[in-house]
C-alpha cells in the first residue's frame, strides 16, 4: 500500500478525508471517499470489502497516517464480512454487487476515456441489452437518441406556442420520444404538440371550403375552369342562378358560394339585396349549415364537454408557460 508516483485521477487521501464534504460532488473518486467517511462516522460495520478495495485502488499513500486509515478500513471491512457471514463458499470467487461494478466502470471511464474502444463499447451495449431484458423492458430506451430528441423539441416548442405545428411534426416527435425513453410522457411536450396539431388540422379542414372559393376568385381572370365559367353564366342571368340554387335552399344544403352568387345577382339587378328575398334565405341556410359543421362539441354530453374544456384550458396554460419561458431565454 505504498506508491511514490501519483496515478491519473488519484488523490491525496489524508487531506481529502478531512475536507471531503467541501469537494466537488461530480468527482466519482471523491464520491468513493465521502461514502466511506459517512459509513465510518455512522455505521462502521456497513463498510464492505469492495469499499476498502476501491478506496485503496484510487488513493495515493503519501504518509503514515493515511496508510493507517486505509488499513483500518480494510480491517473493518474484513470483520464486517465475518460478522454478516458474507464470505464466499470455499473455492468460489467473491461476488461483487452490480451497483459497485457500475460505479467502478463510471470512475474508470471518467479517469481514462481514451481507453474506451469500439470493442469495449460493443460489449457494454450487449450488457445493457441483457439488463433491459432482465427488468422486462419491452420498449427499451435508447439513450443515444437523447441529443436528437432535444434538438427536435427545441425546433417544435416555438411552433407549438404559435399553434403552427403540423400533424407530421407532432407524430415524428412522438415516435422519437418513444424510442429515446421507451415511452412518452403524459402531459409532456409531445402530448401538447399532438393536441395543438389536431386542433389546427380541424380548423384548416373547416375553413378549406370557404377558402377555396376565395382563392379561385383571386386567380388569373384570363384562365377559367368549367366551374368559373358556369358561375359567370349564372351571374349574367340571375334567373338561371335562382333556379339552380333554390332547391338547395329548400333542402338546407345551400353553400357560402351560393349565397355569394345570389347576393351578386341581386345587387347587379336591383342595386341592393332584397330583405327576406332568396339571397337572404340562402344566407340563413348557409349560416346554420356552417354553425353545425363548426361545432364538434354539439353532440357531446355535458360531462364530455366539461372534460374537453378542461383539457383545452390545461393546454392553453402550458402554451402560455412555454411562451413566457421562450421570452425569458431571449
The pLDDT assigned to 265 comes to 72
Rounded Cα–Cα distance for residues 73 and 52 (Å): 6
Of the ranges 200-209, 253-262, 289-298, 311-320, the best mean pLDDT one: 200-209
The pLDDT assigned to 312 comes to 67
Rounded Cα–Cα distance for residues 218 and 213 (Å): 9
Is 245 in contact with 254 (CB distance < 8 Å)?
yes
- Orientation of helix 64-83 relative to helix 49-57, angle to 10°: 160
pLDDT band at 6 (very low <50, low <70, confident <90, very high): very low
pLDDT band at 274 (very low <50, low <70, confident <90, very high): low
Predicted model pTM: 0.31
* Cell, residue 302: 355535458
Higher per-residue pLDDT: 168 or 328: 168
Distance from the Cα of residue 55 to its chain's centroid: 40
Of the ranges 138-147, 197-206, 275-284, the best mean pLDDT one: 197-206
Is 311 in contact with 217 (CB distance < 8 Å)?
no
Higher per-residue pLDDT: 93 or 71: 71
The pLDDT assigned to 130 comes to 82
Of the chain, the end-to-end C-alpha distance in Å amounts to 56
Smallest CA-to-CA distance from 163 within 207, 194, 209 is with 194
Where along the chain do its domains lie?
A: 1-112, 145-205, 231-294
The pLDDT assigned to 122 comes to 87
The pLDDT assigned to 217 comes to 47
Rounded to the nearest 10°, the torsion over CA 117, 177, 155, 148 is 10
Amino acid at each position: 500500500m505504498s506508491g511514490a508516483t501519483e496515478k491519473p485521477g488519484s488523490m491525496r487521501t489524508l487531506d481529502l478525508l478531512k475536507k471531503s464534504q467541501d469537494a466537488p460532488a461530480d468527482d466519482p473518486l471523491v464520491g468513493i471517499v465521502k461514502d466511506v467517511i459517512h459509513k465510518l462516522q455512522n455505521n462502521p460495520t456497513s463498510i464492505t470489502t469492495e469499499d476498502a478495495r476501491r478506496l485503496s485502488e484510487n488513493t495515493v499513500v503519501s504518509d503514515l497516517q493515511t496508510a493507517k486509515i486505509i488499513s483500518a478500513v480494510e480491517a473493518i471491512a474484513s470483520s464486517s464480512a465475518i460478522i454478516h457471514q458474507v464470505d464466499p463458499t470455499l473455492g468460489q470467487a467473491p461476488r461483487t454487487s452490480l451497483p459497485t461494478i457500475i460505479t467502478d466502470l463510471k470512475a474508470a471511464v471518467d479517469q481514462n476515456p481514451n481507453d474506451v474502444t469500439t470493442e469495449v463499447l460493443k460489449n457494454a451495449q450487449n450488457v445493457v441489452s441483457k439488463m433491459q431484458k432482465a427488468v422486462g423492458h419491452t420498449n427499451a430506451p435508447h439513450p443515444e437518441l437523447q441529443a436528437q430528441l432535444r434538438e427536435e423539441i427545441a425546433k417544435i416548442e416555438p411552433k407549438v406556442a404559435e399553434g403552427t405545428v403540423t400533424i407530421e411534426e407532432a407524430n415524428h416527435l412522438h415516435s422519437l420520444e418513444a424510442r429515446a425513453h421507451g415511452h412518452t410522457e403524459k402531459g409532456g411536450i409531445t402530448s401538447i404538440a399532438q393536441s395543438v396539431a389536431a386542433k389546427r388540422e380541424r380548423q384548416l379542414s373547416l375553413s378549406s371550403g370557404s377558402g377555396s372559393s376565395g382563392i379561385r376568385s383571386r386567380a388569373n381572370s384570363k384562365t377559367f375552369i368549367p366551374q368559373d365559367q358556369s358561375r359567370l353564366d349564372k351571374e349574367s342571368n340571375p334567373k338561371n342562378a335562382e333556379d339552380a340554387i333554390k332547391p338547395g335552399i329548400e333542402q338546407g344544403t345551400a353553400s357560402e358560394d351560393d349565397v355569394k352568387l345570389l347576393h351578386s345577382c341581386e345587387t347587379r339587378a336591383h342595386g341592393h339585396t332584397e330583405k327576406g328575398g332568396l339571397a337572404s334565405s340562402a344566407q340563413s341556410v348557409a349560416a346554420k349549415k356552417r354553425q353545425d359543421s363548426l361545432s364538434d362539441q354539439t353532440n357531446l354530453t355535458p360531462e364530455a364537454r366539461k372534460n374537453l374544456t378542461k383539457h383545452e384550458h390545461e393546454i392553453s396554460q402550458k402554451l402560455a408557460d412555454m411562451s413566457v419561458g421562450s421570452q425569458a431565454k431571449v
